[in-house]
Amino acid sequence: MRNPIIICLAALGFLSCTSDPVWTNRDLLESNSAEIAIDHQGRIRNIEYHIEPGAVPQAVRDAMDALHPGGAYVGAEKEVTEERILFELTRRVEGREVEALFTQTGQLVSEEIQVSADHVPSAVKASVAATLPGGEVTSWEEIRDGARRLTAYHVKVHSQGRHYKMALTPSGGLNALIVELPAELEVPTRR
């Protein structure tokens, strides 16, 4: 059994010192789960709250329907940084997951489109094999910007009992290797 990591949000500098923090305990309590991205200095870069698709603004749902019509929503997130709030919708389209990230007004920021291994360049596959030899790839994703241009690949790999996400350039250059750790969040419900 894995030991959960207990994160004290205040100790990590997560709670803003301003009177109007961008993220709140209420967001955490209203979510199904959350993901926290931490930079190399241990600062929280962003937090993604897993929410019900119906909690996403209508403009975002309309934009997703226009971009990827049909299919049921299988997930949604509210992504919060100190600068802005974004919404992500996930839909299964033709047997693959498509995630699209939007501003609150429905402007496309980026897409993550699940693809099969035969749609991934050999240089990307070689980089994955060299970085995590013997790892089992669990997901290949094309990353597209707001203009829908291919900018990167995200590859999820299980290796030596850990889950990793690799961010690679289309030519196979490694931009980031991220370990995904389970965590337990303790959020006060009252003062």
Confidence of residue 22 (pLDDT cuts 50, 70, 90): low
- Asked if residue 11 has pLDDT above 80, the reply is no
Query: What DSSP string describes 134-172?
Result: TPEEEEEEEEEETT--EEEEEEEEEETTEEEEEEE-TTS
Contact between 71 and 85 (Cβ < 8 Å): no
pLDDT for position 186: 80
Mean per-residue pLDDT over the chain, rounded:
86
Q: Would you say the CATH fold of 116-186 matches that of 23-111? A: yes
Check: CATH 3.40.50.720 for 23-111?
no
- Dist CA 146 CA 108 (whole Å): 5
Q: Which of 31, 23, 102 is nearest to 68 (CA)?
A: 102
Long-range contacts of 178-185 (CB under 8 A, 24+ apart): 181/5, 182/2, 182/4, 182/5, 183/4, 183/5, 183/6, 183/7, 183/36, 184/4, 184/5, 184/6, 184/7, 185/7, 185/9, 185/28, 185/34
- Dist CA 191 CA 188 (whole Å): 7
CA 148 to chain centre: 18
Supply the DSSP symbol for 117.
G
CATH code of the domain made up of 116-186: 3.10.450
pTM: 0.83
pLDDT for position 34: 86
Q: Where are the domains of the chain?
A: 23-111, 116-186
- Asked if residue 72 has pLDDT above 70, the reply is yes
Contact between 127 and 168 (Cβ < 8 Å): yes
More reliable by pLDDT, 95 or 124: 124
Report helix, strand or coil for 19: coil
Average pLDDT over residues 168-173: 98
pLDDT digits (tens, 9 = 90+) for 150-165: 999 999 999 999 999 9
